[in-house]
Chains A and B, each alone.
Chain A
Amino acid sequence: MSILRNWRHCLFWLVIGCWVGQTIWLAWYYAPDVKEMAWRVASGRTGTAVRQEDPLYRWALTLAAVIPPRDTYIFLDNYEAGKEIEARYHLTPRKHVLLSPAAPPSFLFHALRQEKASYLVVREGKKPWKSQDAVAESAAFLLLPVPGPGLVFKVDYERLPGKFHD
């Protein structure tokens, strides 16, 4: 009985010892965060200023100035990139519809009409996207001179034909 008790006692202190090691590891793990936080507090770059460092946020601010709050826009991007949800967050309460850059014109035009979307936003304007030519040819799209990494089109969705462009 006393052996068992001693064994439990030893195990208890072994767990405590490991926990002390774990606590030291946690301090080491979060040390870079503490360092950066101290730098941010010292330089006054906290809160909204942190977001200003993000080019996507700065672009979203210019989009917010162009797209009225009650309007709908279609955002052409890959979900996996994780940028789409950021854009949606910054652009609320505007209605956000995500489509892939691989969406064919028939689907894109149908979605624009269906959702009554007044804007089409392409996050990576320099990369090719499937409906690029169809959009360029259609009179329903007007490319807006919005500075930033992507393209922004004003869309007259009522002028979009019902026929397929694939």
Chain B
Amino acid sequence: MIDTALALLRFSLGLGSVFLLGYLGFALLVPNPRGFRVLESLSYSFGIGAVVLTLWMLLLSWWGHPFSLIPILVPPLAGAFLLVALKMIVRKRAGGPESAPSTIPAPSSAPFQVWDWVFIGLLSAVLLFAYFRAVIYPMWAWDTIATWGCKAKLFYQTGGMDLTCIEAHNYYPNLVPLLLSYLYFCLGEVKDHLAQGLFPFWGALLLGMLYSFLRRMGLNRTRALGVTAFFALNGTVFISHLFIAYADLPLAYFALAAVGLLYLWLMDAAPVGALALAAPFFAGLAWCKYEGPPLAGTILLAAFLTLVWLRPPDWKMRVLKLGIPILGLAAGFLPWRLFAAFRHLEMGADHVRNLYPHQLLESIPYFLRALVDPFFFGLLWPAAVLALIFSGRGLWRSPRLFPALFLGGNLLAVLVAYAVAPTSAAEFDMYVRATIDRLLLHITPVAALLVGDGVKEWGGRPQAGPQRPLEKPLGKAY
């Protein structure tokens, strides 16, 4: 009993350190970290901390320094503290205001409604179930023991990124395995069932982030909670990814952060520093999974096309500012590619050699079924489609075009991916069934943003509760 309590304490301290590191990064990136809700700060901080910590571990491994807790944690934390202190000194000397005006939509003074409690109860029940489901059982899911968990165990046992004894998928990016191995260092041994507790926790942060985006999009508390619960309790894919330790849930988290921040920026509803804040999430996309860079590419392309189509007064300057997330993408993409090139790791390029048009046709029924089958995502995708349909012509005149383009582009990309997949005819059916839910999971939280947009208009009655205007000049959110 005492052992378990100590292990949980070590695990919590390990996660707390990631939060601290991430919060310092967050404080560096945005002019006024206090201008965010606590839930928002927490949601962003963990992702930033995870990216910085694991990239640092990659550097340690490159330098040949063996992994242990002190070299993993102390230098990045000390560096981040120094930089934040430097930022504060510079700001004080420049005579600037200690804090920029708040960008938080004013908190609703209304007491919690019955429906708020119902939605909070549903979300708590899902997360509690997922947490116990994760920590009671050891790692067992296929990709977990074949790739992510296996690498994590190996990195811990060898004290570095020794990929010589694992041949399968050794070119995959390593954010998740390195973060798990860091947790093993915190725990002092490979307790994979406890480390698996990371995933429900990551899912909670994704839900917190989704809720925060919905609030900034103008939904009141009840509706934002309702849409968040609608996302979490629709089908089994999201819930099962809360406890199977795959990299798809973290990828969905990074994708939501990147899309959400750019969407708010396009809507002029973003917090100050949104593009700089989006940069580490673009890095996370590239460093989390092989599908991340194309996903990031479609986000940037959709933002570019939206700006070109809508042509706001400063659209050229805004297009140039998309360079900030591109820098983030490069920061997440290049280190691992360079490491792999220097270590002569063979990078898997087998997916782009040929086009098999019949596979495209064969995958369409599976694809459509996955979008409407209650077992996968429940009513979420049909609801997102309805929200788009009810946008009418307004879709072409508003930044809502951005998530619509992103989702449409990615749905098309999924089909194209199946058309170029080098799979035998006998295995193709199994291949699609084993991957379609995960590929859709990456973009499903963004579909929930569209549902949120729809609920704002679609629900009929005007919104309850005060919706005060944002306390920042519109169009200056970058």
Residues in chain A within 8 A of chain B (CB atoms):
5, 8-9, 11-12, 15, 18-19, 22-23, 25-26, 29-30, 33-34, 37, 40-41, 46-48, 50-51, 69, 72, 82, 85-86, 88-89, 92-97
Contacts and interface: CB of A to CB of B under 8 A. Distances in A.
Contact of B239 (A9, A19, A30): A30
A15 B239 CA distance: 20
A19 B378 contact: yes
A12 B20 CA distance: 42
Contact of A93 (B145, B157, B191): B157
B323 to A, nearest CB: 40
Given A30-B239, A92-B154, A18 B379 contact: yes
Interface bracket on B? 35 or more
A41 B379 CA distance: 34
Given A19-B379, A50-B137, A85 B193 contact: no
23 contacts: A5-B460, A8-B390, A15-B382, A22-B234, A26-B236, A29-B236, A33-B129, A41-B132, A46-B135, A46-B193, A47-B135, A47-B191, A47-B194, A48-B191, A50-B137, A69-B157, A88-B150, A89-B146, A89-B149, A89-B153, A92-B153, A92-B166, A94-B165
A19 B234 contact: yes
A45 to B, nearest CB: 9
A37 B378 contact: no
Given A72-B165, A95-B165, 11 more contacts: A8-B458, A19-B230, A23-B233, A26-B239, A33-B129, A41-B136, A46-B193, A50-B136, A88-B146, A89-B139, A89-B150
B383 A22 contact: no
Given A12-B458, A29-B236, A37 B379 contact: no
Nearest to B234: A22
Contacts of B129: 30, 33-34
Q: Which of A40, A41, A93 counts the most B-chain CB atoms under 10 A from its CB?
A: A93
A93 B162 contact: yes
Nearest to B162: A93
Contacts of A41: 132, 136
Interface in B106-153: 122, 129, 132-133, 135-139, 142, 145-146, 149-150, 153
B426 to A, nearest CB: 11
B193 A48 contact: yes
Q: Which of B132, B138, B382 counts the most A-chain CB atoms under 10 A from its CB?
A: B138
If over half of B's interface residues share one DSSP class (helix, strand or loop), that class is named, otherwise mixed; here it is: helix
B430 to A, nearest CB: 10
A47 B136 contact: yes
Q: Which of B136, B158, B191, B460 counts the most A-chain CB atoms under 10 A from its CB?
A: B136
B164 interface: yes
Contacts of A33: 129, 133
A12 B459 CA distance: 6
A22 B381 CA distance: 14
Interface in B145-200: 145-146, 149-150, 153-154, 157-158, 162, 164-167, 191, 193-194
B386 interface: yes
Contact of A26 (B233, B458, B460): B233
A86 B142 CA distance: 9
A49 to B, nearest CB: 9
Interface string B399-432: 0000000000000000000000000000000000
Nearest to B233: A23
A102 B11 CA distance: 45
A9 B154 CA distance: 55
